[in-house]
Amino acid sequence: MGRPRGFDEEQVVQAAVVLFGRQSFDGTSVDDLVSHLGVHRGSLYKTFGSKRGLYLAALRQHVARDVVAAAEVFAAADDPVTAVHRIVASGPDLGLLFLALVERAPVDAEVAAETSRALALLDDARPGLDEALGLLLRARATRTTNEGE
């Protein structure tokens, strides 16, 4: 706490949000983190304790920023479909939340606490969240298919 890091911790955590959100917790090695985050292995361990420590920090930042931003889009839109289109077109990217829900939340209580908090935020913004999330997942998948064509 309060130690000079020699790097911007928030920026590193943000890069981890993108990486974990793209390739999951298990699919991201420490080698991947070191090369993409531009931080030495020693600093990574010193600052976050472990890969899971960094993952938890990334998930918390993701909920505080991206999920809150998505909740705002849901709250402001007339219907869930409009919100889904808006989010798919211009973000926020909820990749980390989706991957965390299927990969880590079932086996990690601290991750589950964060994902529950995230779902509650979305639910507060938009009743009928389950339908909206299903739509969002399908829209994301379709976007990838379209890009690949």
Instruction: Looking at residues 86 to 125 of the shown chain, list those that interact with another protein (rule: CB under 8 A).
Output: 110
Smallest distance, Å, CB 52 to another protein?
5
Smallest distance, Å, CB 21 to another protein?
19
Phi-psi region of 37 (alpha: psi -120 to 50; beta: other; left: phi over 0): alpha
Site string for another protein, 31-70 (x = CB under 8 A): x--x------xx--xx-xxxxxx--x--------------
Residue 101 phi, psi (nearest 5): -60, -40
Q: Which one, of 64, 62, 44, lies nearest residue 54 by Cα?
A: 44
Give 4 or 42: the residue with its C-beta nearer to another protein. Answer: 42
Smallest distance, Å, CB 68 to another protein?
21
List Cβ neighbours of 83 (8 Å cut-off, separation of 6 or more): 73, 74, 76, 77, 126, 132
Give 30 or 76: the residue with its C-beta nearer to another protein. Answer: 30
25 belongs to the binding site for another protein (CB under 8 A): no
Is the CB of residue 16 less than 8 Å from the CB of residue 55? yes
Contacting positions for another protein (CB under 8 A) = 29-31, 34, 41-42, 45-46, 48-53, 56, 110
